[in-house]
Structure 1
Amino acid sequence: MKGDEALRRVATALADARAIVVLTGAGMSAASGVPTFRGAGGLWRTFRAEDLATPAAFARDPALVWEWYDWRRQQIAACAPNAGHEVLARWSAARDAMRVITQNVDGLHERAGTRHVRRLHGSIWRLRCVRGCPAGGSREELEVPLAPLPPRCECGAVLRPDVVWFGESLDPAVLDAAVHDAQRADVFLTVGTSSQVYPAAGLVPLAHAAGALVVEINPEPAASADAVDVRLTMGADQALVALDDLLRQNHAR
Protein backbone atom coordinates (compact mmCIF):
# COMPACT_ATOMS: atom_id res chain seq x y z
CA MET A 1 0.00 0.00 0.00
CA LYS A 2 1.47 3.33 -1.10
CA GLY A 3 1.98 6.16 1.39
CA ASP A 4 -0.94 8.39 0.37
CA GLU A 5 -3.32 5.45 0.15
CA ALA A 6 -2.22 4.20 3.56
CA LEU A 7 -2.71 7.65 5.08
CA ARG A 8 -6.22 7.89 3.63
CA ARG A 9 -7.12 4.44 4.95
CA VAL A 10 -5.98 5.35 8.45
CA ALA A 11 -7.68 8.74 8.37
CA THR A 12 -10.98 7.10 7.35
CA ALA A 13 -10.66 4.58 10.18
CA LEU A 14 -9.91 7.36 12.67
CA ALA A 15 -12.93 9.35 11.52
CA ASP A 16 -15.20 6.33 12.02
CA ALA A 17 -13.63 5.12 15.28
CA ARG A 18 -15.24 5.54 18.65
CA ALA A 19 -12.22 4.46 20.72
CA ILE A 20 -8.74 5.50 19.60
CA VAL A 21 -5.70 4.35 21.57
CA VAL A 22 -2.18 5.65 20.92
CA LEU A 23 0.97 4.00 22.29
CA THR A 24 3.97 6.34 22.15
CA GLY A 25 7.70 5.82 22.57
CA ALA A 26 10.91 7.81 22.30
CA GLY A 27 10.33 8.58 18.61
CA MET A 28 7.29 10.64 19.61
CA SER A 29 9.57 13.20 21.26
CA ALA A 30 12.37 13.09 18.66
CA ALA A 31 11.10 16.18 16.83
CA SER A 32 11.09 18.06 20.14
CA GLY A 33 14.82 17.50 20.45
CA VAL A 34 14.64 15.29 23.54
CA PRO A 35 18.04 13.55 23.70
CA THR A 36 18.33 9.79 23.47
CA PHE A 37 19.39 8.57 26.88
CA ARG A 38 19.84 4.94 25.86
CA GLY A 39 21.66 3.10 23.12
CA ALA A 40 24.41 4.49 20.87
CA GLY A 41 25.37 7.98 21.92
CA GLY A 42 23.46 7.60 25.15
CA LEU A 43 26.48 7.90 27.42
CA TRP A 44 26.58 10.46 30.21
CA ARG A 45 30.15 10.92 31.37
CA THR A 46 31.23 7.26 31.29
CA PHE A 47 27.87 5.81 32.33
CA ARG A 48 25.08 4.22 30.32
CA ALA A 49 21.44 4.66 31.30
CA GLU A 50 21.39 0.97 32.18
CA ASP A 51 24.15 1.64 34.74
CA LEU A 52 22.24 4.41 36.51
CA ALA A 53 18.50 3.73 36.19
CA THR A 54 18.43 0.85 38.67
CA PRO A 55 17.51 0.47 42.34
CA ALA A 56 21.02 -0.88 43.03
CA ALA A 57 22.71 2.17 41.50
CA PHE A 58 20.50 4.50 43.53
CA ALA A 59 21.16 2.62 46.76
CA ARG A 60 24.90 2.72 46.06
CA ASP A 61 25.18 6.39 45.08
CA PRO A 62 21.93 8.40 45.12
CA ALA A 63 23.78 11.69 44.54
CA LEU A 64 25.31 10.41 41.28
CA VAL A 65 22.00 9.07 40.02
CA TRP A 66 20.27 12.31 40.91
CA GLU A 67 22.97 14.34 39.16
CA TRP A 68 22.17 12.41 35.98
CA TYR A 69 18.41 12.82 36.41
CA ASP A 70 18.80 16.52 37.16
CA TRP A 71 20.81 16.90 33.93
CA ARG A 72 18.09 15.02 32.05
CA ARG A 73 15.38 17.21 33.56
CA GLN A 74 17.23 20.33 32.43
CA GLN A 75 17.62 18.93 28.91
CA ILE A 76 13.90 18.11 28.69
CA ALA A 77 12.83 21.43 30.21
CA ALA A 78 14.48 23.17 27.26
CA CYS A 79 12.30 21.19 24.81
CA ALA A 80 8.72 21.90 23.78
CA PRO A 81 5.87 19.69 22.56
CA ASN A 82 6.09 19.19 18.81
CA ALA A 83 3.34 19.27 16.19
CA GLY A 84 2.61 15.58 16.77
CA HIS A 85 2.01 16.16 20.48
CA GLU A 86 -0.32 19.01 19.59
CA VAL A 87 -2.33 16.81 17.21
CA LEU A 88 -2.85 14.17 19.90
CA ALA A 89 -3.86 16.88 22.38
CA ARG A 90 -6.51 18.17 19.96
CA TRP A 91 -7.83 14.66 19.31
CA SER A 92 -8.02 13.93 23.03
CA ALA A 93 -9.97 17.13 23.62
CA ALA A 94 -12.49 16.17 20.94
CA ARG A 95 -12.88 12.48 21.84
CA ASP A 96 -13.72 11.28 25.35
CA ALA A 97 -12.89 7.68 24.41
CA MET A 98 -9.34 8.45 23.27
CA ARG A 99 -6.41 7.31 25.38
CA VAL A 100 -2.66 7.89 25.10
CA ILE A 101 -0.41 5.26 26.62
CA THR A 102 3.18 6.48 26.80
CA GLN A 103 6.51 4.86 27.57
CA ASN A 104 8.05 8.34 27.81
CA VAL A 105 8.72 10.05 31.12
CA ASP A 106 9.29 13.53 29.66
CA GLY A 107 5.79 14.93 30.30
CA LEU A 108 5.48 16.48 26.82
CA HIS A 109 2.04 14.96 26.25
CA GLU A 110 0.77 16.68 29.37
CA ARG A 111 2.47 19.96 28.47
CA ALA A 112 0.68 19.84 25.11
CA GLY A 113 -2.63 19.46 26.97
CA THR A 114 -3.36 15.82 26.18
CA ARG A 115 -6.05 14.27 28.35
CA HIS A 116 -6.22 10.69 29.64
CA VAL A 117 -2.49 9.89 29.52
CA ARG A 118 -1.37 6.52 30.90
CA ARG A 119 2.27 6.85 31.98
CA LEU A 120 3.64 3.32 31.91
CA HIS A 121 7.10 4.31 33.13
CA GLY A 122 6.16 7.19 35.41
CA SER A 123 7.28 10.81 35.18
CA ILE A 124 10.70 12.38 35.52
CA TRP A 125 8.97 15.41 37.06
CA ARG A 126 7.55 13.49 40.00
CA LEU A 127 9.49 12.58 43.13
CA ARG A 128 8.64 10.07 45.84
CA CYS A 129 10.05 9.05 49.19
CA VAL A 130 12.11 5.86 49.23
CA ARG A 131 10.38 4.96 52.50
CA GLY A 132 6.95 5.50 50.98
CA CYS A 133 5.96 7.71 53.90
CA PRO A 134 2.73 9.75 53.82
CA ALA A 135 4.71 13.00 54.14
CA GLY A 136 6.70 12.27 50.97
CA GLY A 137 3.97 10.65 48.95
CA SER A 138 4.48 11.40 45.29
CA ARG A 139 4.77 15.03 44.31
CA GLU A 140 5.52 16.99 41.17
CA GLU A 141 8.64 19.15 41.20
CA LEU A 142 9.26 21.27 38.08
CA GLU A 143 12.19 23.27 39.41
CA VAL A 144 15.45 22.89 37.45
CA PRO A 145 18.12 22.50 38.53
CA LEU A 146 17.28 20.83 41.81
CA ALA A 147 19.31 21.72 44.88
CA PRO A 148 20.58 20.20 47.01
CA LEU A 149 21.14 16.75 45.51
CA PRO A 150 19.88 14.29 46.43
CA PRO A 151 16.58 15.94 47.44
CA ARG A 152 15.13 14.99 50.81
CA CYS A 153 11.65 14.15 52.02
CA GLU A 154 10.08 15.87 55.02
CA CYS A 155 10.78 12.68 56.97
CA GLY A 156 14.51 13.02 56.21
CA ALA A 157 14.74 10.12 53.74
CA VAL A 158 15.99 10.54 50.19
CA LEU A 159 13.49 11.25 47.44
CA ARG A 160 13.81 9.31 44.18
CA PRO A 161 12.52 9.99 40.67
CA ASP A 162 9.02 8.53 40.35
CA VAL A 163 9.95 6.44 37.31
CA VAL A 164 10.16 2.73 36.62
CA TRP A 165 13.78 1.58 36.70
CA PHE A 166 15.35 -1.47 35.12
CA GLY A 167 14.40 -4.49 37.21
CA GLU A 168 11.23 -2.87 38.55
CA SER A 169 7.65 -3.75 37.67
CA LEU A 170 5.13 -1.37 36.17
CA ASP A 171 2.35 -0.06 38.37
CA PRO A 172 -0.26 -2.85 38.11
CA ALA A 173 -3.16 -0.38 38.03
CA VAL A 174 -1.62 1.59 35.13
CA LEU A 175 -0.81 -1.61 33.22
CA ASP A 176 -4.30 -3.03 33.77
CA ALA A 177 -5.83 0.21 32.47
CA ALA A 178 -3.58 0.11 29.40
CA VAL A 179 -4.58 -3.50 28.68
CA HIS A 180 -8.24 -2.56 28.98
CA ASP A 181 -7.68 0.35 26.59
CA ALA A 182 -5.96 -1.87 24.03
CA GLN A 183 -8.74 -4.45 24.14
CA ARG A 184 -11.49 -1.92 23.47
CA ALA A 185 -9.74 0.10 20.75
CA ASP A 186 -11.23 0.49 17.31
CA VAL A 187 -7.96 2.00 16.06
CA PHE A 188 -4.65 1.41 17.83
CA LEU A 189 -1.70 3.60 16.80
CA THR A 190 1.80 2.65 17.86
CA VAL A 191 3.94 5.76 17.40
CA GLY A 192 7.72 6.09 17.59
CA THR A 193 8.37 2.93 19.56
CA SER A 194 10.64 -0.03 18.86
CA SER A 195 7.94 -2.44 20.06
CA GLN A 196 10.69 -4.43 21.78
CA VAL A 197 10.15 -3.46 25.42
CA TYR A 198 7.59 -5.53 27.30
CA PRO A 199 4.97 -5.40 28.63
CA ALA A 200 4.26 -2.30 26.48
CA ALA A 201 5.08 -4.17 23.26
CA GLY A 202 2.50 -6.81 24.18
CA LEU A 203 -0.29 -4.25 23.82
CA VAL A 204 0.12 -4.26 20.02
CA PRO A 205 -0.82 -7.92 19.37
CA LEU A 206 -3.42 -7.66 22.12
CA ALA A 207 -5.20 -4.82 20.33
CA HIS A 208 -4.94 -6.65 17.00
CA ALA A 209 -6.42 -9.84 18.47
CA ALA A 210 -9.32 -7.80 19.88
CA GLY A 211 -10.19 -6.51 16.41
CA ALA A 212 -8.55 -3.07 16.30
CA LEU A 213 -7.00 -1.65 13.16
CA VAL A 214 -3.35 -1.53 14.25
CA VAL A 215 -1.25 1.21 12.65
CA GLU A 216 2.50 1.49 13.14
CA ILE A 217 4.04 4.95 12.72
CA ASN A 218 7.82 4.64 12.71
CA PRO A 219 10.63 5.44 10.27
CA GLU A 220 11.64 1.76 10.36
CA PRO A 221 9.35 -1.29 10.72
CA ALA A 222 9.39 -2.42 14.35
CA ALA A 223 6.36 -4.44 15.49
CA SER A 224 5.64 -7.94 14.21
CA ALA A 225 4.02 -7.92 10.77
CA ASP A 226 1.37 -10.30 12.07
CA ALA A 227 0.09 -7.64 14.47
CA VAL A 228 0.17 -4.59 12.16
CA ASP A 229 -2.46 -3.77 9.56
CA VAL A 230 -0.94 -0.53 8.19
CA ARG A 231 2.62 0.74 8.38
CA LEU A 232 3.37 4.43 7.94
CA THR A 233 7.15 4.67 7.57
CA MET A 234 7.30 8.30 8.68
CA GLY A 235 8.34 10.34 11.65
CA ALA A 236 5.73 10.69 14.38
CA ASP A 237 5.09 14.41 13.93
CA GLN A 238 5.00 14.16 10.13
CA ALA A 239 2.51 11.29 10.10
CA LEU A 240 0.22 12.70 12.77
CA VAL A 241 0.06 16.12 11.10
CA ALA A 242 -0.74 14.45 7.75
CA LEU A 243 -3.53 12.39 9.32
CA ASP A 244 -4.91 15.45 11.10
CA ASP A 245 -4.96 17.39 7.83
CA LEU A 246 -6.92 14.60 6.13
CA LEU A 247 -9.40 14.46 9.02
CA ARG A 248 -9.93 18.21 8.79
CA GLN A 249 -10.42 18.03 5.02
CA ASN A 250 -12.96 15.23 5.37
CA HIS A 251 -14.82 17.12 8.08
CA ALA A 252 -15.00 20.25 5.95
CA ARG A 253 -16.70 18.42 3.08
Structure 2
Amino acid sequence: MHDDLKQFLRESRNTIAFTGAGISTLSGIRDFRGKNGVYLQPWHGRQVEEILSLECFYEDPSLFYQWAKEFIYRLDDFHPAAVHRVLAKLEARGMLSSVYTQNIDLLHQKAGSRNVYELHGSPAHHHCLRCRKEFSYKEIAPKVLADELPRCSCGGVIKPDIVFYGENLDESLLNQAFKEMGKADLLLVLGSSLTVQPAASLPLATHYGGGKIVIVNAQPTPLDRYAAARYSDLQEVFGDLESWLENQ
Protein backbone atom coordinates (compact mmCIF):
# COMPACT_ATOMS: atom_id res chain seq x y z
CA MET A 1 0.00 0.00 0.00
CA HIS A 2 1.05 3.58 -0.73
CA ASP A 3 4.31 2.36 -2.29
CA ASP A 4 4.74 5.56 -4.30
CA LEU A 5 4.65 7.66 -1.13
CA LYS A 6 7.19 5.39 0.58
CA GLN A 7 9.43 5.62 -2.47
CA PHE A 8 9.16 9.43 -2.44
CA LEU A 9 10.12 9.46 1.25
CA ARG A 10 13.13 7.20 0.64
CA GLU A 11 14.38 9.28 -2.29
CA SER A 12 13.83 12.74 -0.82
CA ARG A 13 16.76 14.53 0.80
CA ASN A 14 14.56 17.33 2.07
CA THR A 15 10.96 16.59 3.09
CA ILE A 16 8.64 19.11 4.74
CA ALA A 17 5.13 18.58 6.12
CA PHE A 18 2.36 21.16 5.90
CA THR A 19 -0.55 20.28 8.20
CA GLY A 20 -4.10 21.47 8.77
CA ALA A 21 -7.02 20.76 11.07
CA GLY A 22 -7.90 17.48 9.36
CA ILE A 23 -5.01 15.63 11.01
CA SER A 24 -6.32 16.47 14.48
CA THR A 25 -9.77 15.03 13.83
CA LEU A 26 -8.02 11.69 14.40
CA SER A 27 -7.33 12.94 17.94
CA GLY A 28 -10.98 13.88 18.47
CA ILE A 29 -10.61 17.60 17.74
CA ARG A 30 -13.20 18.94 15.29
CA ASP A 31 -11.86 20.51 12.14
CA PHE A 32 -13.11 23.78 10.68
CA ARG A 33 -14.47 23.02 7.22
CA GLY A 34 -15.07 19.26 7.17
CA LYS A 35 -18.52 17.67 7.25
CA ASN A 36 -18.84 18.34 11.01
CA GLY A 37 -16.71 21.46 10.88
CA VAL A 38 -16.72 24.09 13.62
CA TYR A 39 -17.39 26.85 11.08
CA LEU A 40 -20.56 25.22 9.78
CA GLN A 41 -22.47 25.68 13.01
CA PRO A 42 -23.07 29.14 14.53
CA TRP A 43 -22.25 29.46 18.22
CA HIS A 44 -24.95 31.21 20.25
CA GLY A 45 -26.16 32.82 17.04
CA ARG A 46 -22.74 34.15 16.04
CA GLN A 47 -20.58 32.88 13.18
CA VAL A 48 -17.31 31.41 14.43
CA GLU A 49 -15.31 33.57 11.98
CA GLU A 50 -16.85 36.61 13.71
CA ILE A 51 -15.97 35.31 17.18
CA LEU A 52 -12.40 34.75 15.99
CA SER A 53 -12.05 38.26 14.58
CA LEU A 54 -9.77 40.81 16.20
CA GLU A 55 -12.55 43.41 16.10
CA CYS A 56 -14.86 41.12 18.06
CA PHE A 57 -12.14 40.30 20.60
CA TYR A 58 -11.51 43.99 21.30
CA GLU A 59 -15.26 44.58 21.57
CA ASP A 60 -16.06 41.61 23.83
CA PRO A 61 -13.14 39.31 24.75
CA SER A 62 -15.41 37.26 27.02
CA LEU A 63 -17.29 35.99 23.94
CA PHE A 64 -14.08 34.54 22.51
CA TYR A 65 -13.08 32.93 25.79
CA GLN A 66 -16.53 31.39 26.28
CA TRP A 67 -16.25 29.79 22.82
CA ALA A 68 -12.57 28.89 23.24
CA LYS A 69 -13.19 27.15 26.56
CA GLU A 70 -14.21 24.01 24.66
CA PHE A 71 -12.11 24.39 21.53
CA ILE A 72 -8.74 25.68 22.75
CA TYR A 73 -8.44 25.37 26.53
CA ARG A 74 -9.02 21.64 26.92
CA LEU A 75 -5.94 20.59 24.94
CA ASP A 76 -4.75 18.36 27.80
CA ASP A 77 -7.73 16.09 26.98
CA PHE A 78 -6.37 15.32 23.50
CA HIS A 79 -3.44 13.17 22.42
CA PRO A 80 -1.37 12.84 19.25
CA ALA A 81 -2.78 10.53 16.57
CA ALA A 82 -1.13 8.57 13.75
CA VAL A 83 -0.13 11.58 11.63
CA HIS A 84 1.50 13.40 14.57
CA ARG A 85 3.35 10.23 15.65
CA VAL A 86 4.62 9.37 12.17
CA LEU A 87 5.87 12.90 11.48
CA ALA A 88 7.78 12.88 14.78
CA LYS A 89 9.31 9.48 13.89
CA LEU A 90 10.27 10.67 10.40
CA GLU A 91 11.99 13.73 11.89
CA ALA A 92 13.83 11.57 14.44
CA ARG A 93 15.13 9.39 11.59
CA GLY A 94 16.30 12.35 9.55
CA MET A 95 13.57 11.83 6.95
CA LEU A 96 11.65 15.05 7.70
CA SER A 97 13.16 18.51 7.99
CA SER A 98 10.28 20.39 9.57
CA VAL A 99 6.54 20.78 10.07
CA TYR A 100 4.65 23.92 9.13
CA THR A 101 1.19 23.82 10.65
CA GLN A 102 -2.02 25.82 10.51
CA ASN A 103 -3.08 24.15 13.77
CA ILE A 104 -3.06 25.68 17.24
CA ASP A 105 -3.51 22.45 19.24
CA LEU A 106 0.17 21.81 20.18
CA LEU A 107 -0.16 18.11 19.24
CA HIS A 108 2.91 18.07 17.01
CA GLN A 109 5.05 19.13 19.96
CA LYS A 110 3.29 16.65 22.23
CA ALA A 111 4.14 13.87 19.74
CA GLY A 112 7.82 14.79 19.87
CA SER A 113 8.31 16.91 16.75
CA ARG A 114 11.00 19.53 17.35
CA ASN A 115 11.05 21.69 14.22
CA VAL A 116 7.45 22.93 14.32
CA TYR A 117 6.46 26.29 12.86
CA GLU A 118 2.96 27.51 13.76
CA LEU A 119 1.70 29.71 10.93
CA HIS A 120 -1.44 30.78 12.78
CA GLY A 121 0.25 31.39 16.10
CA SER A 122 0.05 29.39 19.30
CA PRO A 123 -1.99 29.34 22.51
CA ALA A 124 1.20 28.28 24.30
CA HIS A 125 1.84 31.99 24.80
CA HIS A 126 -0.45 34.86 25.77
CA HIS A 127 0.19 38.53 26.40
CA CYS A 128 -1.48 41.48 28.08
CA LEU A 129 -2.87 43.97 25.57
CA ARG A 130 -2.00 46.86 27.91
CA CYS A 131 1.47 46.20 29.32
CA ARG A 132 2.56 43.30 27.01
CA LYS A 133 3.42 41.00 29.92
CA GLU A 134 3.57 37.38 28.77
CA PHE A 135 1.67 34.40 30.18
CA SER A 136 1.79 30.66 29.51
CA TYR A 137 -1.07 28.37 28.46
CA LYS A 138 -0.87 26.67 31.86
CA GLU A 139 -1.42 30.01 33.60
CA ILE A 140 -4.43 30.97 31.47
CA ALA A 141 -6.29 27.68 30.84
CA PRO A 142 -7.51 27.22 34.46
CA LYS A 143 -8.95 30.75 34.46
CA VAL A 144 -10.83 30.16 31.19
CA LEU A 145 -12.12 26.78 32.38
CA ALA A 146 -13.39 28.53 35.54
CA ASP A 147 -15.30 31.03 33.32
CA GLU A 148 -12.99 33.84 34.35
CA LEU A 149 -11.92 36.50 31.84
CA PRO A 150 -8.10 36.45 31.93
CA ARG A 151 -6.76 39.80 33.08
CA CYS A 152 -3.28 40.98 33.92
CA SER A 153 -2.41 42.48 37.31
CA CYS A 154 -2.31 45.85 35.49
CA GLY A 155 -5.97 45.37 34.59
CA GLY A 156 -5.39 44.71 30.89
CA VAL A 157 -7.12 41.92 29.01
CA ILE A 158 -4.92 38.96 28.12
CA LYS A 159 -4.96 37.68 24.51
CA PRO A 160 -3.62 34.37 23.21
CA ASP A 161 -0.84 34.65 20.62
CA ILE A 162 -2.96 33.06 17.90
CA VAL A 163 -3.68 34.88 14.65
CA PHE A 164 -7.21 36.25 14.67
CA TYR A 165 -9.13 37.27 11.56
CA GLY A 166 -8.03 40.81 10.85
CA GLU A 167 -4.46 40.13 11.98
CA ASN A 168 -1.59 39.47 9.62
CA LEU A 169 0.43 36.30 9.75
CA ASP A 170 4.04 36.66 10.90
CA GLU A 171 5.64 37.96 7.69
CA SER A 172 9.13 36.67 8.50
CA LEU A 173 7.74 33.19 9.23
CA LEU A 174 5.70 33.24 6.02
CA ASN A 175 8.78 34.26 4.02
CA GLN A 176 10.76 31.50 5.69
CA ALA A 177 8.06 28.97 4.79
CA PHE A 178 8.01 30.03 1.12
CA LYS A 179 11.79 29.84 0.98
CA GLU A 180 12.05 26.44 2.68
CA MET A 181 9.19 24.88 0.72
CA GLY A 182 10.75 26.16 -2.48
CA LYS A 183 13.82 24.04 -1.69
CA ALA A 184 11.90 20.91 -0.67
CA ASP A 185 12.23 17.70 -2.68
CA LEU A 186 8.95 16.53 -1.17
CA LEU A 187 6.09 18.37 0.53
CA LEU A 188 3.44 16.42 2.43
CA VAL A 189 0.17 18.39 2.55
CA LEU A 190 -1.90 16.74 5.29
CA GLY A 191 -5.42 17.49 6.44
CA SER A 192 -5.63 20.97 4.94
CA SER A 193 -8.39 22.22 2.64
CA LEU A 194 -5.87 24.76 1.28
CA THR A 195 -8.51 27.49 1.31
CA VAL A 196 -7.13 29.94 3.91
CA GLN A 197 -4.73 32.40 2.33
CA PRO A 198 -1.88 33.16 2.29
CA ALA A 199 -0.83 29.86 3.88
CA ALA A 200 -2.82 27.87 1.30
CA SER A 201 -0.50 29.06 -1.47
CA LEU A 202 2.64 27.78 0.24
CA PRO A 203 2.68 24.35 -1.49
CA LEU A 204 3.02 26.08 -4.86
CA ALA A 205 6.54 27.06 -3.82
CA THR A 206 7.47 23.37 -3.85
CA HIS A 207 5.79 22.83 -7.20
CA TYR A 208 7.58 25.75 -8.85
CA GLY A 209 10.82 24.76 -7.14
CA GLY A 210 10.69 21.37 -8.87
CA GLY A 211 9.72 19.29 -5.82
CA LYS A 212 6.92 16.76 -5.47
CA ILE A 213 3.68 17.41 -3.59
CA VAL A 214 1.69 14.64 -1.91
CA ILE A 215 -1.77 15.60 -0.65
CA VAL A 216 -3.75 13.59 1.91
CA ASN A 217 -7.10 15.21 2.68
CA ALA A 218 -10.70 14.02 2.88
CA GLN A 219 -12.06 16.82 0.68
CA PRO A 220 -10.69 18.00 -2.69
CA THR A 221 -8.26 20.93 -2.58
CA PRO A 222 -7.51 23.64 -5.16
CA LEU A 223 -4.00 22.21 -5.62
CA ASP A 224 -4.92 18.56 -6.26
CA ARG A 225 -3.87 18.86 -9.90
CA TYR A 226 -0.29 19.56 -8.81
CA ALA A 227 -0.03 16.44 -6.62
CA ALA A 228 2.32 13.60 -7.55
CA ALA A 229 0.14 11.41 -5.30
CA ARG A 230 -3.29 12.10 -3.81
CA TYR A 231 -5.03 10.19 -1.00
CA SER A 232 -8.16 10.89 1.02
CA ASP A 233 -7.85 8.74 4.17
CA LEU A 234 -5.30 10.05 6.67
CA GLN A 235 -5.80 7.18 9.11
CA GLU A 236 -5.26 4.55 6.42
CA VAL A 237 -2.19 6.23 4.92
CA PHE A 238 -0.47 6.99 8.21
CA GLY A 239 -1.44 3.73 9.85
CA ASP A 240 0.35 2.05 6.94
CA LEU A 241 3.36 4.38 7.25
CA GLU A 242 3.57 3.76 10.98
CA SER A 243 3.75 -0.01 10.40
CA TRP A 244 6.28 0.51 7.61
CA LEU A 245 8.56 2.59 9.85
CA GLU A 246 8.39 0.04 12.65
CA ASN A 247 9.65 -2.62 10.24
CA GLN A 248 12.51 -0.61 8.81
Change (3 A) 1:124 1:47: farther
Deviations 1:149-188, CA, capped at 9 Å, x for gaps: 3212243311111110112110112212211221111110
Aligned to 1:108: 107
The letter of the residue matching 1:114 is S
Counterpart for residue 14 of structure 1? 9
Matched-pair contact (CA < 8 Å) for 1:92–1:98: yes
Give the conservation status (yes or no) of the 8 Å contact 2:120–2:163: yes
8 Å Cα contact 2:127/2:160 also seen in 1: yes
State the Cα RMSD in Å: 2.1
2:152 corresponds to 1:141: no
Structure 1 pair 178/40, CA: closer, same or farther in 2 (3 Å)? Answer: same
Deviation, 1:211, is: 1.2
**1:215–1:229 Cα contact (<8 Å) kept:** yes
Alignment of 1:34-183 (within 5 A): 34-36=29-31, 38-41=38-41, 43-95=42-94, 98-131=97-130, 133=132, 136-137=133-134, 139-141=136-138, 143-144=141-142, 146=144, 147=146, 149-183=148-182
1:131 to 1:179, Cα distance in 2 relative to 1, 3 A: farther
What is the CA–CA distance in structure 2 between the aligned matches of 1:239 and 1:117, rounded to whole Å?
21
Q: Distance in 2 between matches of 1:103 and 1:69?
A: 17
SS in 2 for 1:141: helix
Amino acid at match of 1:13: F
Query: Whole-Å Cα distance in 2 between the matches of residues 144 and 125 of structure 1?
Result: 13
Moved more, 136-145 or 69-78: 136-145
Match of 1:199 in 2: 198
Give 4+ residue runs of structure 1 displaced > 4 Å after superposition. none
Whole-angstrom CA distance in 1 between matches of 2:172 and 2:135: 16
**TM norm structure 1:** 0.86
> In the alignment, residue 40 of structure 2 is paired with which amino acid?
A
Separation in 2 of the partners of 1:132 and 1:102?
29
Q: What amino acid does structure 2 have at the position aligned with 1:40? A: L
Give 1:72 deviation, angstroms. 1.8
Higher mean displacement: 149-158 or 8-17: 149-158
Structure 1 Cα separation of the partners of residues 188 and 14 of structure 2 = 11
Tell me how many residue pairs correspond in the alignment.
Answer: 241
- Whether the 8 Å CA contact 2:127–2:161 is kept in 1: the answer is yes
Q: Percent identity?
A: 31
Q: Which amino acid letter does the alignment assign opposite residue 153 of structure 1? A: C
Residue 248 (structure 1) shift: 4.8
- Which whole-Å CA distance do the structure 1 matches of 2:112 and 2:7 have between them? 25
Which residue in 2 is equivalent to 1:240? 238
Structure 1, unaligned runs of 5 or more: none
Q: Report the Cα distance in structure 1 between the residues aligned to 2:64 and 2:224, rounded to whole angstroms.
A: 38
Bigger CA drift: 52-61 or 122-131? Answer: 122-131
Structure-1 residue corresponding to 2:35: none
Alpha-carbon offset, residue 189 of structure 1: 0.5
Between the aligned partners of 1:189 and 1:223, the Cα distance in structure 2 is 15
Alignment correspondent of 1:30: 25
